[in-house]
Amino acid sequence: MFDNLSEKLGGILDRLTRRGALTEADVDAAMREVRRALLEADVSLDVVRSFTERVREQAIGATVVKSVTPGQMVVKIVHDELVATLGSDGQSIDLHAVPPVAIMMVGLQGSGKTTTTAKLARRMVQRDKRKVLMASLDIYRPAAMEQLAVLGRDLDIPTLPIVDGQKPAQIAKRALEAGKLGGYDVVLLDTAGRTTLDEEMMSEAAEIKATANPHEVLLVADSLTGQDAVNLARAFDQRVGLTGIALTRVDGDGRGGAALSMRAVTGKPIKLMGTGEKTDALEDFHPSRIAGRILGMGDVVSLVEKAAANIDAEKAARTAERMRKGQFDLSDMREQLLQMASMGGISGLMGMMPGVAKMKNQIANAGIDDKIIKRQVALIDSMTRQERKSPDILKASRKKRIAAGAGGKVEDLNKLLKMHRNMADMMKAMGSGKRGPLAGIAQA
Ligand code: GDP
């Protein structure tokens, strides 16, 4: 799976990780190779362009974390961008609706629609313990109806009895009624496909959708058809409306162009992938796992993640140490403000800390909420280094200038300084061997 692409990207990045330092020209050269590899993998041109541009920007702007090489950082950036391009994790089939939940399968003939319907039914019955009914709406090909019935018998999953002369929308209605009467959790509707995309197929699908009001409309698309699969998805989504994509024959797809372009081009998530002919060859589509398979450099990615986490921990430990010594200046407070903002707000954090009820009130009185943290930070940013270290030196005229520079009022600055004083005092009091309360949070 994705073998060709994996091999090429692996080679390019491997050469990069072995170098000591990276120049902008090195990154550019590598991105040219990545671009070629992605285009050869049949990834859509727009996707390739924005992918390499995003990687390039980050690779050049990245601060290299101690203990990893610049090349290893680039591997991590490529990995994260692959994940972002593939979509986000946890986008699976949604069954949160009043049963029977209707799931409609659409797509071209031969894409693997009937097989995928049976695979999905099998998984819902065996893994999720749901009661599932399958129905074929392909009135044009009796063999297709029979194929689903055979699969159903093999798996011991009921299929809707075939009634000659009914239209697809009528069959869908009958399937849902049978689903309701029989106490089924899910009804899978396997619609008819044609060999090429045509208006008749689209209008039939739209009619079935209007009748059955399915909770999921899944396009079954053959990954081997590359960009054709992506164009098909776009057309189906515009005309019928899709909730997701089931990509089949991923087991034989050495390139990966459809998988990599689908989400970015259509905005629809790949929810399932078929990885073989047997009815158990169905997997959820996890972008992070797929990115891992494509790159095959999981050890480098986790190495960089660990190194980055260490840096954060070291920084927090240094701040904690300064607090213990009563050296909590406005630069430290700035760090803390930003950290608190990123951790879900001050009031929530304060509530979790024992013994800071008094300070909590003070903060509430000072009117600090997350929206004005930005303003607080801007005020601190307008000060000189010396002022941040010893705010006592601030005179009234200087305070006015600082406030004006940050687009705030002197009153705001005074509140900020008072809050800093209170925090510093409290930390000194709690110090003498004990850890400051904010430091504890910062490391949690
Ligand atoms: P339909 O016309 O869209 O209903 O397509 P079918 O379900 O009949 O599938 C066509 C062929 O593709 C069958 O031979 C399937 O066994 C095969 N097939 C379907 N899904 C996959 C898959 O994920 N991997 C592989 N290797 N073959 C598949």
Cβ–Cβ < 8 Å for 360, 350: yes
Residue 227 CA to ligand 1 centre (angstroms): 19
More confident residue, 343 or 129: 129
Count Cβ atoms below 10 Å from residue 432 Cβ, excluding itself.
Answer: 9
pLDDT at 70: 80
What is the β-pairing status of strands 270-274 and 244-248?
Answer: parallel
Confidence bin at 371 (pLDDT 50/70/90): low
Instruction: Say what the pTM is.
Output: 0.72
Percent of the chain topping pLDDT 90: 54
Residue 274 CA to ligand 1 centre (angstroms): 9
> How would DSSP label each residue in 288-342?
HHHHHHHH--HHHHHHHHHHHHHHHHHHHHHHHHHHHTT---HHHHHHHHHHHHH
pLDDT at 156 over 90: yes
Domains and CATH numbers, the chain: 3-88 (1.20.120.140), 101-285 (3.40.50.300), 325-443 (1.10.260.30)
Ligand 1 atom nearest 110 alpha carbon: 2
**DSSP 3-state assignment of 100?**
coil
Q: Read off the pLDDT of residues 77-103 as tens digits, 9 standing for 90 and up.
A: 898 999 999 987 778 899 999 999 999
Confidence bin at 147 (pLDDT 50/70/90): very high
Residue 398 CA to ligand 1 centre (angstroms): 75
pLDDT at 47 over 80: yes
- Count CA atoms closer than 13 A to 36's CA, side-chain side: 8
What is the β-pairing status of strands 216-222 and 186-190?
Answer: unpaired
Residue 100: cis peptide before it, omega within 30 degrees of 0? yes
Dist. CA 126–CA 120, nearest whole Å: 10
Confidence bin at 358 (pLDDT 50/70/90): low
Assess whether the C-beta atom of 112 lies below 6 angstroms from ligand 1. yes
User: Which two tokens mark 146?
Assistant: 């029979």
Assess whether the C-beta atom of 276 lies below 6 angstroms from ligand 1. yes
pLDDT at 351 over 50: no
Assess whether the C-beta atom of 114 lies below 6 angstroms from ligand 1. yes
- Among protein residues, the one with the nearest Cα to ligand 1's atom 19 is 112
pLDDT at 50: 93
Residue 277 CA to ligand 1 centre (angstroms): 6
Out of 115, 159, 248, give the residue to mutate to test ligand 1, the one with the largest number of ligand atoms within 8 Å of its CB. 115
| Complex confidence, ipTM | 0.98
